[in-house]
């Protein structure tokens, strides 16, 4: 079997059986294509059915010269999943990565903003800013408020639809990784800013494929992920904030501030859309002082 044929079958498996998004599938196949490039560079004509453990180890050794441990671990994980699929489909008897260990990496702690940082960023937005007759200042405020108050991923924000807003019930419907949907509470302040933007949006000539998309550019098209990064980057520079801030920083801050104020970890997990509670537990590093408060408040022998 040729690489291309098996990769095509694998992508179909990831989409239909695993329910992964297009972005996730691209990441999985990117690792395989790096291996193929290595084989071509070294004139090694080996099919995925025949490739050996020794060839894989040599490939990873070459990668380790330029990639950090985290990148190596991701690569090994991606390849292991691919060859597990080949074993599952009976193309191979064994996985050539079974005896290959991932490098040890420390858990990366998320960057967070203080409440003051977030207030300063939002207050720095020029609410009168217009472009081509469209008030983008009000849109930008609604975007940052939604990122922070609902803990959304940037892709979830750009895909958020008007039909996903259930303000009377106090929730929004969010479509996350693998097209899995969840309901996230939304506060009255964020509802107000979104409503202001919706009033402005009503006067935009919206493109046919974006009729239900909430956040648009001045042309009436869905915003790109890059545009959200740019909006935040410009505000960070404007207030002189000496931190690396991305849309995901608002999501981390959302979880961190909830935890610091006594929110239940399981509830945070549900709002973030994490499949595993262990993913959410990374936020336990941020401020352990509240754990002492819980002990003092609830333990009978405090």
Residues 17 and 152 grouped into a single domain? no
Helix (H), strand (E) counts: the chain: 13, 5
| Helix (H/G/I), strand (E/B), else coil: 242 | coil
Look at the chain and report how many structural domains it folds into: 2
Q: At 256, which CATH number?
A: 1.10.443.10
End position of a domain, from candidates 71, 88, 105: 88
Residues 80 and 131 grouped into a single domain? no
Residues designated as active site:
153, 177, 248, 251, 274, 283
- Residue 184 falls inside a structural domain: yes
Residues 200 and 236 grouped into a single domain? yes
- Residue 102 falls inside a structural domain: no
Residues 195 and 149 grouped into a single domain? yes
Are 165 and 214 in contact by the 8 Å Cβ rule? The answer is yes
Q: Which domain holds residue 274?
A: 115-291
pLDDT at residue 186 in the model: 93
Q: What is the residue whose two structure tokens read 């595993």?
A: 276
Residues 208 and 270 grouped into a single domain? yes
Q: How many CB atoms lie within 10 A of CB 277?
A: 12
Residues 128 and 237 grouped into a single domain? yes
pLDDT at residue 71 in the model: 83
- Residue 176 falls inside a structural domain: yes
Report mean pLDDT in 10-residue bins for the chain, 302 residues: 84 84 84 89 87 89 83 86 89 87 64 91 94 92 95 93 95 87 92 96 92 94 92 94 90 86 81 74 56 57 52
End position of a domain, from candidates 88, 106, 131: 88
Report the predicted TM-score, pTM, of the whole model to 2 decimal places. Answer: 0.63
pLDDT at residue 281 in the model: 63
Residues 41 and 81 grouped into a single domain? yes
Are 286 and 190 in contact by the 8 Å Cβ rule? The answer is no
| Helix (H/G/I), strand (E/B), else coil: 44 | coil
Residues 165 and 207 grouped into a single domain? yes
pLDDT at residue 280 in the model: 65
Q: How far apart are CA 259 and CA 283, in angstroms?
A: 8
pLDDT at residue 106 in the model: 57
Residues 264 and 141 grouped into a single domain? yes
Residues 129 and 43 grouped into a single domain? no
Q: At 22, which CATH number?
A: 1.10.150.130
H/E stretch holding 259: helix 247-260
């Amino acid at each position: 079997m040729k690489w291309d044929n098996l990769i095509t079958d694998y992508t179909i498996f990831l989409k239909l059986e695993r329910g992964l998004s297009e972005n996730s599938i691209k990441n999985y196949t990117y690792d395989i294509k790096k291996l193929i490039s290595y084989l071509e560079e070294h004139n090694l004509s080996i099919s995925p059915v025949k490739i050996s453990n020794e060839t894989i180890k040599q490939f990873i050794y070459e990668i380790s010269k330029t990639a950090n441990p985290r990148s190596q671990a991701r690569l090994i994980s991606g390849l292991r999943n691919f060859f597990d699929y080949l074993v599952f489909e009976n193309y191979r008897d064994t996985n050539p990565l079974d005896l290959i260990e991932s490098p040890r990496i420390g858990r990366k702690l998320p960057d967070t903003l203080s409440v003051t940082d977030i207030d300063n960023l939002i207050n720095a937005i020029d609410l009168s800013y217009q472009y081509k007759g469209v008030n983008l200042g009000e849109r930008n405020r609604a975007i940052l408020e939604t990122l922070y108050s609902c803990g959304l991923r940037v892709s979830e924000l750009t895909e958020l639809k008007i039909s996903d807003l259930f303000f009377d019930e106090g929730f929004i419907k969010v479509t996350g990784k693998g097209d899995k949907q969840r309901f996230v509470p939304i506060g009255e302040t964020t509802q107000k800013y979104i409503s202001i933007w919706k009033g402005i949006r009503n006067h935009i000539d919206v493109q046919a494929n974006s009729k239900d998309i909430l956040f648009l550019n001045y042309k009436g098209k869905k915003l790109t992920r890059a545009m959200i990064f740019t909006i935040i980057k410009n505000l960070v520079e404007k207030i002189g904030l000496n931190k690396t801030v991305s849309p995901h920083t608002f999501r981390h801050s959302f979880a961190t501030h909830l935890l610091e104020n006594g929110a239940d970890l399981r509830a945070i997990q549900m709002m973030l859309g994490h499949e595993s509670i262990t993913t959410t537990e990374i936020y336990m590093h941020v401020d352990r002082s509240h754990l002492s408060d819980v002990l003092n408040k609830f333990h009978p022998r405090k």
